[in-house]
Structure 1
């Protein structure tokens, strides 16, 4: 995307009504990556199949329709879907058994099992030689690792019901804690303990860049701040769709929630607002399993899905943005300000220090385990 187009996107002023109306109209029409000769150039053409893991449900349905089927049309390679909540346990079992049945897998780098697999050499090097120029320029080197590339981002952020705040809603986590100016029932997650501790520290005045690494005093400070908001949390949500439904039902006025779930509701015309200041953003990785039955086709699939127009289809229909910034030129303009990779939003997000979270303490526990135990003890009080 050229500088002029980028400037137009960043400076556009879009009303809430126009966003909702345009999204409902635009997203009702098919947006499928074009399976043209450009996508089907010789180095991606092939035969046979590739086995691709994803999360199931609407995620896999949309991945199949808007990415896998265009890939097959462009290359001649059939995609076989496999699904589960998490891939790491199955990868570990296959790796230990010496029989790998999958090819392309989305993994979570922030969990210890993924680190163990990487250290065990379970993932092949990514063949960036198959990527086109627009992909290499659009996907930053920082997210193109030797054995993995970012598949998508997911964020836990503040979401509020526009109906509850007709004069203007909260702008940050400090406002979430401000019961006087922004009254109403709140929601927080029982599972997103890193995000909740971070949001509490931000609400208490800690700058985004000052969050990591968390000392025991930092955790004490965060839990003390959470003590203030605890009486106003009417329900601690567990499943990803729960906070959005509670907002729709007006059982919440504001809550933490996942960006993909909120975006899905906004597509349906639900009057929700996303607050990106202090959003906790995690990355998931595409990997190619070493010893998989169709490794060459797996490399081609990853090269295809990271092309800008395909990346735009992935982002639009899964609800979670892939990393190719050149996709912004292919997305509906009304959608761009609602995703984490939009530069204005990205500048406001925070990212956990994964290496620190997985680092072992003197007692043998990871820092993530330690702060999780502190969190559970606080929740049990």
Structure 2
């Protein structure tokens, strides 16, 4: 069965639980990620919400990290959008610490079904993206099962790439050295742990053909054969697989990040925004959005509304999720600058 997002929308048959527009609210402006995300979110969330409530949702593209924009909106009172989509939970955490977000209403059955690790009082995930290892099955001589295999250059010959980004690549090095993902913060709490990570990176450094800096590069690198083995985001690898290229995703050792909805503090349409966010917690609607984008739904029930084959390619599919762990943004947040300085010094050394 070939998944069709349009068919999935049409199949939504649950009774309407959202009323008509609050008061005089007839529009909501959403700061979203733009491009393919806007197209998927329009089909899955924006247009169905307007049909059900009469509130038109207008997307406006924003920066990848909207923290500075949210602060400006709140401090100036110039609400160029009423809520934000696809905000990383790490960014949300920083905004909450600075008292820049409205609390959400997560009392609906759909919101309650979303795991506690994917929501808090001011944030609820709509989707989950994973950073994973991908490789070309036609050029690598046997299946790769872990980052340790990536470091085995004799056993697994091929052109290798790594991300030019401290947090992800330091984690990968420690995973390759046998450190469980959950133990990485403890290992890096001591200087010996950092030395261990950089010693492991020294082993692989002569064998790295491309240090990539933009995730958009990785599909081309894999598709063209410029790289045979490359950590990247699951949706980027899946786009190459969907194009017919023999690429395989290794979920083991992956780490995932939650992305979702937030409301800037003081938003004059906060009540309508909460109504919209509750609507977007629906598993049926998440199924439409996530299947298009190759990302994982936060509501476990979304897989009931998706093609079974497509479900198995997504990061929150139970078998895939069980092999990964969450990115510990509370640990990495305060260390971002220090880690970047040490990593860049090493890379240029």
Give the TM-score of the pair, scaled to structure 1. 0.84
Q: Which moved more, 1:368-377 or 1:304-313?
A: 368-377
Shift in alpha-carbon separation, 1:34–1:40, aligned structure 2, 3 A: farther
Per the alignment, residue 375 of structure 1 pairs with 343
Q: Which moved more, 1:209-218 or 1:55-64?
A: 209-218
Unaligned runs of 5+ in 2: none
Shift, 1:88, TM fit: 1.4
Per the alignment, residue 152 of structure 2 pairs with 178
- Distance in 2 (CA, whole Å) between partners of 1:54 and 1:311 is 16
Please show how residues 124-143 of structure 1 align to structure 2 within 5 Å: 124-129=102-107, 131=108, 133=109, 135-136=110-111, 138-143=113-118
Matched, 1:91 2:70: yes
Shift in alpha-carbon separation, 1:153–1:168, aligned structure 2, 3 A: same
Per the alignment, residue 243 of structure 1 pairs with 218
Q: Is the 8 A contact 1:123 1:290 kept in 2?
A: yes
Shift, 1:92, TM fit: 1.0
Per the alignment, residue 99 of structure 2 pairs with 121
RMSD of the alignment, in Å? Answer: 2.1
Shift, 1:44, TM fit: 6.2
Shift, 1:70, TM fit: 1.6
- Write out per-residue CA displacement over residues 97-125 of structure 1, whole angstroms, 9 at most, x where no aligned residue: 133231121323335xx544313322111
Q: Is the 8 A contact 2:89 2:123 kept in 1?
A: no
Shift, 1:29, TM fit: 6.4
Secondary structure (helix, strand or coil) at the match of 2:297 reads: coil
- Distance in 1 (CA, whole Å) between partners of 2:137 and 2:4 is 23
Please show how residues 21-40 of structure 1 align to structure 2 within 5 Å: 26-27=2-3, 30-34=6-10, 38=14, 40=16
Secondary structure (helix, strand or coil) at the match of 1:128 reads: coil
- Distance in 2 (CA, whole Å) between partners of 1:307 and 1:241 is 30
Work out which of the residue numbers 108, 119, 127 in structure 1 matches 2:88. 108
Q: Is the 8 A contact 1:40 1:75 kept in 2?
A: no
Shift in alpha-carbon separation, 1:291–1:136, aligned structure 2, 3 A: closer
Unaligned runs of 5+ in 1: 1-21, 359-365
Q: Is the 8 A contact 2:44 2:286 kept in 1?
A: no
Q: Is the 8 A contact 2:291 2:311 kept in 1?
A: no
Shift, 1:199, TM fit: 1.3
Per the alignment, residue 200 of structure 1 pairs with 173
Per the alignment, residue 223 of structure 1 pairs with 198
- Distance in 1 (CA, whole Å) between partners of 2:48 and 2:11 is 5
Give the TM-score of the pair, scaled to structure 2. 0.91
- Distance in 2 (CA, whole Å) between partners of 1:337 and 1:153 is 14
Shift, 1:221, TM fit: 0.7
- Distance in 2 (CA, whole Å) between partners of 1:299 and 1:252 is 44
Q: Which moved more, 1:221-230 or 1:45-54?
A: 45-54
- Write out per-residue CA displacement over residues 157-215 of structure 1, whole angstroms, 9 at most, x where no aligned residue: 100112113x5321110011111111010011112x21211111111121233212313
Q: Which moved more, 1:261-270 or 1:27-36?
A: 27-36
Shift, 1:314, TM fit: 1.6
- Distance in 2 (CA, whole Å) between partners of 1:220 and 1:354 is 21
- Write out per-residue CA displacement over residues 132-171 of structure 1, whole angstroms, 9 at most, x where no aligned residue: x3x1453113323111112322221100112113x53211
Shift in alpha-carbon separation, 1:159–1:116, aligned structure 2, 3 A: closer
